[in-house]
Amino acid sequence: MTPTTPAQRGIVLFAHGSRDPLWRLPIEAVAAQISARHPGTLVRCAYLEICSPSLPEAATDLIAVGAIQLRVFPLFLGVGKHAREDLPLLIEEIRLSHPGVSIELLPTAGEYEQMTALMADIAVA
């Protein structure tokens, strides 16, 4: 494996969590799209509460299968307390547990102009 292989980069799709098992389907669909479009890229879903795996568990799993870089994408539309306060604490916990791993925390999904434009396009289509 060379230093630039997709398998060395892990992507974590981070969402809130719910007791309703159907709630997870859109998050898992995003993970499936990543896997289909970028074969070999390691991707996991993680949840803040109620369902598993947690963000630290998903990160540990990706690291165990060879990821040396993690990219965490919070699938939140708003930048509330979870994104501003809880998520940075979880990222720091992972950094302390895995000091040799590079972790990139992306902005929340709702902060991307592409996302808001797509939602607007869907609403008026």
Tell me the per-residue pLDDT of 61-99, one tens digit each, with 9 for 90 and over: 999 999 999 999 999 987 767 777 889 999 999 999 999
Residue 1 pLDDT exceeds 60: no
Long-range contacts of 26-29 (CB under 8 A, 24+ apart): 27/75
When mean pLDDT is compared across 2-6, 22-26, 65-69, 111-115, the lowest value belongs to 2-6
For the segment 106-114, the average pLDDT, to the nearest whole number, is 94
- CA angle centred on 44, ends 41 and 50, rounded to 5°: 170
Task: State the pLDDT at residue 7.
Answer: 62
Distance (Å) of CA 1 to CA 4, 8, 39, 110, 117:
8, 9, 15, 35, 38
For the segment 2-15, the average pLDDT, to the nearest whole number, is 78
For the segment 11-37, the average pLDDT, to the nearest whole number, is 94
Class of domain 6-124: alpha beta
Domain map of the chain by residue range? 6-124
Task: State the pLDDT at residue 11.
Answer: 97
